[in-house]
């Protein structure tokens, strides 16, 4: 949805320079069409197979984004009570919510039960016991799936890899049957499904398919043992292309690959995509403040920093950086850095980019996922504004924070 028309960069039918001028920078801009296209790619590829696409809220939890997906019929994968609050505020259907995470608190479990979520993805036996006790106190039955750890290597960055036995997530798949068996003694639980999620930014889907085969086999054994098991939750993790020429799996092809393995299972299939729905739908707009040279090294200092987008600093992630208005000048090689007082504050290092001047605007691409949600107020920097584009219209969906916002809730 990002394209140049003559020299100007557009999101859908809106020139991004207009948004930068009107809203200021830094600002995240999301294309609603891109988000909906990606959601529909999942939904339509499942075709007649019973399914729910549970968008992983942690990738981008802005209310307007959640509303867009709720209206399209999405379910939601949440990892905290705060995310549940957001989903409900945005009009999401609690009956399509699954709750993942290794550290659910009693208060969060209570809130989820009270809201009537579909199912808990449980990651330990103590968590099962807690959910059972809280459901008993309310006189209800809680649906659960055990998140199994299939011990496959997703070949991604170590911080976002989750499916190996050394990781904190899930219950080893070899122990799962015994845990389901012991859950029979917990009278307020219903074994609704089996879940897994092996990692994020996965560019080769083979390990996901390997995990799926293991989980399908487990679900079959559980059904034979008399457990209800109505759904399989296969998690998220499909990667997106961050670099030019990088190949990411197509959503439709990936789901078609799943369908051939799952068609006969008779189970409702759930997936929990985050990045592959919103990643490429977003850009971070920033303004060039200064150009400077230290020795041979060239720096472009911009007004967005690691507090706005931490992925380059945290994961050494690559984001393309392109001008909102192209000039025909020789390109330069520079570090693109923010104003934060840390050497780790950079958006790109030794990068060949357009020859930009102070006052020019740049777009940091593919920042719709794990962008704003990971932002902070470090260095007492107000957090960025967010804008949603719909066709030839754009609207602010989150105001830029003010200095007053920075000290809200504090006392001296
Ligand atoms: C983070 C996460 C997801 C989403 O991962 P993406 O890589 O953004 O698709 C899905 N499920 C669980 C349990 C997660 O922790």
Q: How confident is the model at residue 159 (pLDDT cuts 50, 70, 90)?
A: low
Between the CA of 410 and the centroid of ligand 1 the distance, in Å, is 33
At how many degrees (to 10) do helices 206-224 and 173-183 cross? 30
Q: Which atom of ligand 1 is nearest to the CA of 101?
A: 13
| Per-residue pLDDT at 164 exceeds 90 | no
SS3 percent helix, strand, coil of the chain, rounded to 5, is 35, 30, 40
pLDDT at 163: 63
User: For 2-29+280-406, which CATH class?
Assistant: mainly beta
The verdict on whether 341 is a catalytic residue reads yes
What topology does CATH give the domain 101-271? TIM Barrel (3.20.20)
pLDDT at 190: 97
Between the CA of 249 and the centroid of ligand 1 the distance, in Å, is 16
Q: How confident is the model at residue 233 (pLDDT cuts 50, 70, 90)?
A: very high
Q: Which atom of ligand 1 is nearest to the CA of 121?
A: 13
Cis ω for the linkage preceding 26 (within 30 of 0)? yes
With a 6 A CB cut-off, is 282 part of the ligand 1 pocket? no
pLDDT at 265: 83
pLDDT at 155: 73
SS3 per-residue string spanning 216-257: HHHHHHHHHCCCCCCEEECCCCECCCCCCCCCCCCHHHHHHH
With a 6 A CB cut-off, is 360 part of the ligand 1 pocket? no
Closest CA to 124 of 85, 92, 76, 172: 172
Q: How confident is the model at residue 308 (pLDDT cuts 50, 70, 90)?
A: very high
319-345 per-position pLDDT tens digit: 999 999 999 889 999 999 999 998 899
Between the CA of 325 and the centroid of ligand 1 the distance, in Å, is 35
Per the model's pLDDT, the better-predicted residue between 180 and 158 turns out to be 180
From the list 54, 268, 341, 365, the catalytic residue is 341
Per the model's pLDDT, the better-predicted residue between 139 and 342 turns out to be 139
Are domains 2-29+280-406 and 101-271 of this chain identical in fold? no
183-229 per-position pLDDT tens digit: 999 999 999 999 999 999 999 999 999 999 999 999 999 999 999 99
- Mean predicted confidence (pLDDT) in 34-51: 96
Closest CA to 74 of 237, 274, 249, 229: 274
Rounded to whole angstroms, the Cα distance separating 119 from 142 reads: 7
Q: Which atom of ligand 1 is nearest to the CA of 199?
A: 7
- Residue listed under structure tokens 């457990």: 227
Pocket test of ligand 1: the residue of 38, 55, 59 to mutate, having most ligand atoms within 8 Å of its CB, is 59
With a 6 A CB cut-off, is 156 part of the ligand 1 pocket? no
What's the pTM value of the predicted model, to 2 decimals?
Answer: 0.96
SS3 per-residue string spanning 34-97: HHHHHHHHHHHHHCCCCEEEEEEHHHCCCHHHHHHHHHCCCEEEECCHHHHHHHHHCCCCHHHE
What is the chain's mean pLDDT, rounded? 95
235-254 per-position pLDDT tens digit: 999 999 999 999 999 999 99
Residue nearest to atom 10 of ligand 1 (CA): 236
- Mean predicted confidence (pLDDT) in 106-111: 98
- Mean predicted confidence (pLDDT) in 110-134: 97
DSSP 325: B
pLDDT at 103: 96
| Per-residue pLDDT at 168 exceeds 80 | no
Q: Domain residue spans in the chain?
A: 2-29+280-406, 101-271
- Mean predicted confidence (pLDDT) in 360-364: 98
With a 6 A CB cut-off, is 205 part of the ligand 1 pocket? no
Q: How confident is the model at residue 263 (pLDDT cuts 50, 70, 90)?
A: confident
- Mean predicted confidence (pLDDT) in 107-117: 98
pLDDT at 1: 82
Beta bridge partners of 298: 293
pLDDT at 167: 76
Q: How far are the Cα atoms of 156, 270, 276, 301, 330 from residue 249, in angstroms, in the given order?
A: 14, 18, 10, 34, 34
The C-alpha angle 214, 219, 224, rounded to 5 degrees, equals 130
DSSP 278: H
pLDDT at 169: 83
């Amino acid at each position: 949805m990002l394209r140049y028309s003559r020299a100007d960069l557009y999101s859908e039918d809106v020139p991004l320079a207009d948004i930068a001028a009107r809203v200021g920078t830094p600002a995240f801009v999301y294309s609603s069409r891109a988000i909906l296209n990606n959601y529909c790619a999942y939904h339509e590829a499942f075709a007649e197979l019973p399914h729910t696409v549970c968008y992983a809220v942690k990738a981008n939890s802005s209310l307007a984004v959640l509303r867009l997906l709720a209206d399209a019929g999405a379910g939601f994968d949440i990892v905290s009570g705060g995310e549940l609050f957001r989903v409900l505020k945005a009009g999401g259907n609690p009956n399509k919510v699954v709750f993942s995470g290794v550290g659910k608190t009693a208060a969060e479990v209570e809130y989820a039960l009270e809201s009537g979520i579909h199912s808990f993805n449980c990651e330990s036996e103590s968590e099962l016991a807690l959910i059972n006790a809280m459901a008993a106190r309310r006189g209800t039955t809680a649906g659960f799936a055990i998140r199994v750890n299939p011990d496959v290597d997703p070949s991604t960055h170590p911080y976002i890899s989750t499916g190996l036995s050394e990781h904190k997530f899930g219950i080893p798949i070899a122990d799962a049957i015994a845990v389901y068996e012991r859950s029979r003694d917990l009278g307020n639980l219903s074994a609704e499904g089996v879940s897994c999620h092996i990692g994020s930014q996965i560019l080769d889907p083979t390990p996901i398919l390997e995990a799926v085969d293991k989980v399908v086999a487990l679900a079959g054994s559980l059904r034979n043992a008399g457990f209800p098991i109505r759904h399989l939750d296969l998690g998220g993790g499909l990667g997106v292309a961050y670099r030019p020429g990088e190949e990411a799996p197509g959503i439709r092809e990936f789901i078609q690959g799943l369908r051939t393995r799952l068609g006969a299972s008779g189970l409702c299939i759930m997936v929990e995509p985050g990045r592959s729905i919103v990643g490429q739908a977003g850009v971070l707009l920033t303004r060039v403040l200064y150009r400077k040279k230290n020795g041979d090294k060239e720096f472009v200092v911009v007004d967005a920093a690691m507090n706005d987008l931490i992925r380059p600093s945290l994961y050494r992630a690559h984001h393309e950086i392109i001008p909102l208005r192209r000039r025909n000048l020789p390109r330069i090689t520079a570090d693109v850095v923010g104003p934060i007082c840390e050497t780790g504050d950079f958006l790109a290092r030794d990068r060949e980019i357009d020859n930009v001047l102070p006052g020019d605007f740049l777009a940091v691409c593919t920042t719709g996922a794990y962008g704003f949600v990971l932002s902070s107020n470090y260095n007492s920097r107000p957090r960025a504004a967010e804008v949603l584009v719909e066709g030839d219209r754009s609207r602010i969906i989150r105001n830029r924070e003010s200095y007053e916002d920075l000290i809200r809730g504090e006392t001296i």
